[in-house]
Amino acid sequence: MSKLIRTALHRLYLALIAIPFKLMPSLAYMTFSGAGSTQQLCRHIARQGYSRVLIVSDGPLVALGIVQRAIDALEAEGVNCTVYDGILPDPTFAMVEEGLAMCRQHNCDAVLAIGGGSSIDCAKTLVSSFSNGDDPRKMVGYFKV
């Protein structure tokens, strides 16, 4: 196959892949940074109407009191908090399922990840599984969520 044909096919492929993204609604992102950003984020969560938040984090951040700052700010806004602090590096499906069980048990309507990539990855998988009712193992791979 000639280089010209390969280039044309590649461009066609990229154009076809871009179509679904153009049809999706655009998202508005908010960033809170600097002094008082935890309170701003927690106030925003409350203003969105969420009343029961599962906080996904790890034990050391809970022990350092970092998670408690978010709990205090959320509770000051009238939001009930449940903490799942069982996250370890490279989270497993068992960790996701444990957090998912807590989310269901406390009837949470929002999830807040506090920490690094492991907490964020676990929280994203947990929320995806919670919202669509699928087993998290079925979400492995591309275009599953």
Q: Would 8 be classed as within a structural domain? A: no
- Structural domain boundaries enclosing 97: 32-139
Whole-model pTM: value is: 0.79
Q: What is the rounded distance in angstroms from the CA atom of residue 28 to the CA atom of residue 34? A: 20
Q: For each of the chain's 145 residues, which pLDDT tens digit applies?
A: 688 888 888 888 888 888 887 787 777 788 989 999 999 999 999 999 999 999 999 999 999 999 999 999 999 999 999 999 999 999 999 999 999 999 999 999 999 999 999 999 999 999 999 988 888 888 887 777 7
For residues 39, 41, 44, 45, the Cα torsion angle rounded to the nearest 10 degrees is -110
Number of domains in the chain: 1
CB contact at 8 A, 115 and 59 = no
Q: How far is CA 134 from CA 127, 128, 137, 145, in A?
A: 10, 8, 8, 10
Which amino acid, 46?
A
Q: CA angle at residue 100 from 119 to 102, to 5 degrees?
A: 100
How is 48-66 classified by DSSP, letter by letter? TT--EEEEE-BHHHHHTTH
Q: What is the CATH number of the domain that holds 109?
A: 3.40.50.1970
Q: Would 47 be classed as within a structural domain? A: yes
